[in-house]
């Protein structure tokens, strides 16, 4: 347990800060690694997990990496009653020299801190947590798949653990980090995924929590997703307002590729207005499109002469329908940590299906080029800014 600091004038001690130097490691008995082809996203448990607890007055405990197993929580814990639960989605990859790598992890830590603050959980030092996550990944590095399209998915989680029923912010918390080897999120995306546009149930709303990665954002979507599945659709396309503005596709960010008269293309995604999660893959897609247009990189399969004009602006279903009718829609895809880039083949809206272009391999030139470039950066094959970080 971390030792408190007290002042000489008798004032109350300060709660201990999160301190990676106090890490305690207890090694587990190693499990056999299952065949990669048998992996189902989020089901395989690895050998270890990272756990840190916060208590009022004492602060953050000494971090522990220990054998994977259940947590012991009071039945009155805030996480069960009021849902102050936040999480992140990250991935680890094996680099060219066998080294474990993370993709833009500082951005994940900053978003996690913002999400925790939104539900008034105790603050933590994102830099110290990142140090601890790197240590966990080094210990679990044998679990990182080496096949293209595979990775080790990382789920940092913070839950409120205040053991009382009063409606108040949790003054206690638990940070835990678990990892799981993962293959392609959609087993067969070559045909593209189908979406049912839903506006009567909303995933997020202005002034709400859609811009943060909170557990409470996801449960309300389970029933609409089940209804969409029964109607033959893979995912829900969330709409907002009478004008039916597009927000997110399932738990992914939405992109529309539109043909321009000058031979270039417009790459359109809804704006970060507080209802949409600021996805790291979304930000990466926009940055790579701008880098391609500026001549800093060339996306695989996309001619350098073709400029990608990025637009973060409201996008309605009527506009998508009109662009599709005019034959100007080149591609539609969703992006996210788990899937990277996934093609969309059709959207069910207003009693009909809007059929979208899908290539034989699934993704079109822009989506395919994005997927290839992002994966190559993630695995350290292509250097780009400081996005790929070695767990040293």
Give 289-301 pLDDT, tens digit per residue: 999 999 999 999 9
Q: How does strand 64-67 pair with strand 24-25?
A: parallel
- pTM, rounded to two decimals: 0.94
- In this predicted structure, which of 138-147, 252-261, 312-321, 356-365 has the lowest mean pLDDT? 356-365
Average pLDDT rounded to a whole number, residues 266-284:
97
Q: Where are the domains of the chain?
A: 20-182, 193-381
Q: How many CB atoms lie within 10 A of CB 6?
A: 11
**d(Cα 59, Cα 38) in Å, to the nearest integer?**
42
**Cα-based angle 356, 362, 365 (whole degrees, multiple of 5):** 85
Which CATH number does 193-381 carry? 3.20.10.10
The first and second tokens of residue 377, run together, are: 């950066």
Give 10-36 pLDDT, tens digit per residue: 555 789 999 999 999 999 999 999 998
Specify the pLDDT at position 11: 58
Handedness of CA 221, 227, 230, 234 (dihedral sign): negative
Q: Which CATH class is domain 20-182?
A: alpha beta
Instruction: Give the H or E element holding residue 345.
Output: strand 340-349
**Cα-based angle 325, 331, 336 (whole degrees, multiple of 5):** 135
The first and second tokens of residue 138, run together, are: 């080094």
3-state helix, strand, coil in the chain (%, to 5): 25, 30, 45
Burial 350-377 (b: 16+ CB within 10 A, else e): eeeebebbbeeebbbbbbbbbbbbbbbb
Give 109-168 pLDDT, tens digit per residue: 999 999 999 999 999 999 999 999 999 999 999 999 998 889 999 999 999 999 999 999
**Which of the four pLDDT bands, split at 50, 70 and 90, describes residue 192?**
very high
**Which of the four pLDDT bands, split at 50, 70 and 90, describes residue 321?**
very high
Burial 287-317 (b: 16+ CB within 10 A, else e): bbbbbbbeeebebeebeeebbbebeeeebbb
DSSP at 17: P
**d(Cα 320, Cα 344) in Å, to the nearest integer?**
13
Give 197-247 pLDDT, tens digit per residue: 999 999 899 999 999 999 999 999 999 999 999 999 999 999 999 999 999
């Amino acid at each position: 347990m971390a030792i408190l600091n007290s002042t000489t004038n008798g004032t109350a001690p300060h709660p201990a800060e999160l301190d990676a130097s106090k890490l305690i490691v207890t090694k587990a008995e190693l499990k056999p690694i299952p065949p990669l082809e048998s992996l189902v996203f989020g089901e395989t448990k690895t050998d270890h997990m990272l756990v840190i607890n916060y208590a009022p007055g004492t602060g953050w405990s000494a971090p522990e990496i220990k054998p994977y197993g259940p947590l012991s929580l009071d039945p009155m814990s805030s996480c069960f009653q009021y849902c102050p639960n936040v999480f992140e989605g990250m991935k680890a990859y094996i680099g060219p020299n066998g080294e474990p790598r993370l993709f833009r992890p500082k951005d994940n830590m900053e978003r996690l801190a913002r999400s925790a603050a939104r539900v008034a959980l105790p603050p933590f030092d994102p830099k110290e947590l990142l140090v601890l996550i790197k240590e966990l990944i080094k210990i679990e590095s044998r679990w990182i798949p080496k096949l293209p399209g595979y990775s080790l998915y990382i789920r940092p989680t913070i839950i409120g653990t205040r053991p009382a029923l009063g409606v108040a912010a949790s003054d206690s918390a638990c940070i835990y980090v678990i990892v799981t080897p993962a293959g392609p999120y959609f087993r067969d995306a070559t045909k593209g995924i189908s979406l049912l546009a839903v506006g009567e149930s909303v995933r997020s709303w202005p002034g709400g929590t859609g811009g943060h990665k909170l557990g409470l954002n996801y449960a309300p979507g389970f029933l609409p997703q089940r209804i969409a599945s029964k109607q033959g659709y893979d995912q829900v396309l969330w709409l907002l307002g009478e004008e039916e503005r597009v927000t997110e596709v399932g738990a992914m960010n939405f992109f529309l590729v539109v043909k321009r008269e000058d031979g270039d293309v417009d790459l359109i995604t809804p704006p970060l207005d507080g209802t949409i999660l600021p996805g790291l893959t979304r930000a990466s897609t926009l940055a790579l499109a701008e880098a391609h247009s500026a001549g800093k990189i060339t996306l695989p399969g996309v001619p350098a002469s073709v400029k990608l004009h990025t637009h973060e602006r409201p996008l309605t279903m009527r506009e998508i329908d009109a662009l599709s009718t005019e034959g100007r829609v080149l591609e539609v895809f969703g992006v996210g940590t788990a899937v990277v880039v996934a093609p969309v083949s059709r959207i069910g809206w207003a009693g009909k299906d809007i059929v979208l272009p899908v290539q034989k391999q699934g993704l079109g030139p822009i989506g395919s080029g994005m997927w290839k470039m992002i994966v190559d950066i993630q695995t350290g094959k292509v250097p780009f800014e400081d996005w790929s970080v070695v767990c040293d």
